[in-house]
């Protein structure tokens, strides 16, 4: 058996199943809505693995389902304008990972 066959692989859905959320009272992710309105890519809507961001053309706002965030940090770098205010949830809120 090769090494790659002996390492169990898991899908992103399986990994997300190991995540437990304790949402805080307010968002720890604050996109700059002025930038979102002119953003040509809306990239966060595509690369966030937890589908946290959703551009709403009617409200003309980037909606943020921060409760689903598992704090991977990708949007800090991947935002087209790098203008998402981002901090870890405080007071024991946020994500924990189950193992086993």
| Nearer residue to ligand SF4 within complex by CB, 8 or 92 | 92
For the segment 2-21, give every residue that binds ligand SF4 (CB under 6 A): none
Structural contact between residues 15 and 97, judged by C-beta atoms closer than 8 angstroms: no
CA nearest 24: which of 96, 95, 97? 95
Q: How far is the CB of 97 from ligand SF4 (least distance, A)?
A: 13
Q: Which of 10, 18, 22, 73 binds ligand SF4 (CB under 6 A)?
A: 73
Q: State how far the alpha carbon of 1 is from the alpha carbons of 9, 10, 12, in Å.
A: 15, 19, 25
All residues at 6 or more sequence positions from 97 whose CB lies less than 8 Å from its CB, including other chains: 18, 19, 20
Q: Which of 1, 13, 27, 39 binds ligand SF4 (CB under 6 A)?
A: 39
Q: Is residue 64 within 8 Å of residue 29, measured between CB atoms? A: yes
Residue 27 found at the interface with ligand SF4 (CB under 6 A) = no
Q: For binding to ligand SF4 (CB under 6 A), which residues are involved?
A: 29, 31, 35-36, 39, 41-44, 48-50, 52-53, 62, 69-75, 79-81, 83-84
């Amino acid at each position: 058996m090769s090494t790659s066959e002996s390492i169990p692989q898991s899908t992103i859905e399986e990994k997300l199943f190991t995540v437990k959320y304790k949402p805080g009272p307010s968002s720890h992710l604050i996109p700059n809505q002025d930038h979102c309105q002119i953003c040509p890519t809306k990239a966060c809507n595509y690369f966030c693995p937890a589908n946290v961001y959703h551009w709403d053309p009617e409200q003309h706002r980037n909606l943020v389902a921060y409760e689903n965030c598992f704090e991977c940090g990708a949007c800090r770098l991947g935002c087209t304008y790098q203008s998402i205010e981002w901090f870890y949830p405080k007071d024991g809120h946020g994500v924990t990972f189950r193992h086993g």
